[in-house]
Amino acid sequence: MRILIVGGGIAGLTLAALLNGRDHEVLVVEKTKQYIDRGYVIALWPAGSRILKGPGLYSKFELASQPLRKYVVKDRNGAIRGAI
């Protein structure tokens, strides 16, 4: 099957990686001419990170990441609204 994925964000590229090698012709198109490293930290929660097992990238992710040991949500006044 020929599959066109519009958007080379994390969703598009992950889908392309999952479809890779499954007898599909996959084309990803991306409107941005250049990816820019903005230096953000990105938190991958278990529901999101486990998808990396599909394309065989989970062990690389574990090696390159740091566990999130504490997560605190505060309101605009600094009062804690939730914590893990």
Residues 21-80 that bind ligand FAD (CB under 6 A): 29-32, 40, 42-43, 48
Alpha-carbon gap, residue 46 to 34, rounded angstroms: 29
Among 9, 53, 54, 59, binds ligand FAD (CB under 6 A): 9
Binding-residue total with ligand FAD (CB under 6 A): 15
Q: Does 6 bind ligand FAD (CB under 6 A)?
A: yes
Task: Give the chain's length.
Answer: 84
CA-angle at 57, arms to 36 and 66, nearest 5°: 70
Task: Please say whether the beta carbons of 5 and 16 come within 8 A.
Answer: yes
What is the contact surface with ligand FAD in residues (CB under 6 A)?
Answer: 6-12, 29-32, 40, 42-43, 48
